[in-house]
Structure 1
Amino acid sequence: MMKLSNMIKGVDSDAVAKSLIQNWEHDEATLIFWRASSNFVYAFENKQEKYFLRFSFDQENSIEQIKAELDFMEYLKSNHYPCVSPILSVNGLYIETVENSEGTYFAVVFSSARHYIG
C-alpha cells in the first residue's frame, strides 16, 4: 500500500498525471482520476477509446519491477491468455518518467480490458 504522503503528492492538482499524459496520444480534457492504491490510475480517451494511465512514485515501485510486470504480461499474451496491453508512448517507450521536486514517477498506459468469451 502506498504511503499517504506519496498519495497526497501524486494527486495534488493532478500535476504529475497531466505532465505524464503528454507522452501519449490522448483526447484533450478527458484525463480523470480513477483510483490510488499502490499506483495512481487515471482514465482517459484517445479517439473515443478508453485507456488507463498508471504511475507510481519511485519509492513505491522500481523501474525494474515495472519492466518485469510488462514482460509477464507479454508472456501471458504470447500464450493466448487475455490480458490488457501496454501502449507505446509518442517516444516509442512503454515506460515514461517524470521528475519534479517531490521525486521521480514511472508511468505506463494500458488499453481498456476487453471481455473474452471462450
Structure 2
Amino acid sequence: MKAFTGIQNFFDQKVEAVNQYLQGLSVRERVMVVFTAIFLTVVIIGSALWKMHSLADQQQTRLNELKDLTVWMQSNAATMKPANDLDLTPADKIQRTAQQQGLAVS
C-alpha cells in the first residue's frame, strides 16, 4: 500500500508540473502542445499495431509455406525409395504401395 501511495504521489507531482507548464503558455501554444502530444500518441500506437500486424502476416505466410511443404512431403514420401528395396519390411512395402495409389492404410 505504501508503494502504491508513493507511485500515486509521483504521478500527481508530474501532472501538476505539466499543468503549471501549460498554464504558463499562451492559448495558441497550449493548443499546439496538446495537439502534438495527442498526435504523437496516436502515431506511436498506430505504428506499433502496424508492426505487429506485419509480423503476424509474415508468420502466417511462413506457416502456410510449411503446411504446403508438409503436404508435398507426405504426398511424395511414397515415391522416395531407399537405396535397397530389400531393406523394407512387408508392412512398409504395403504402406508404400497404398500411398502410391492414394489410399491410407490404418
Same fold (TM over 0.5): no
Q: TM-score, normalised by structure 1?
A: 0.19
Report the structure, 1 or 2, having the larger helix content.
Answer: 2
Q: TM-score, normalised by structure 2?
A: 0.21
Structure with higher RCO (Cα < 8 A, 6+ apart): 1
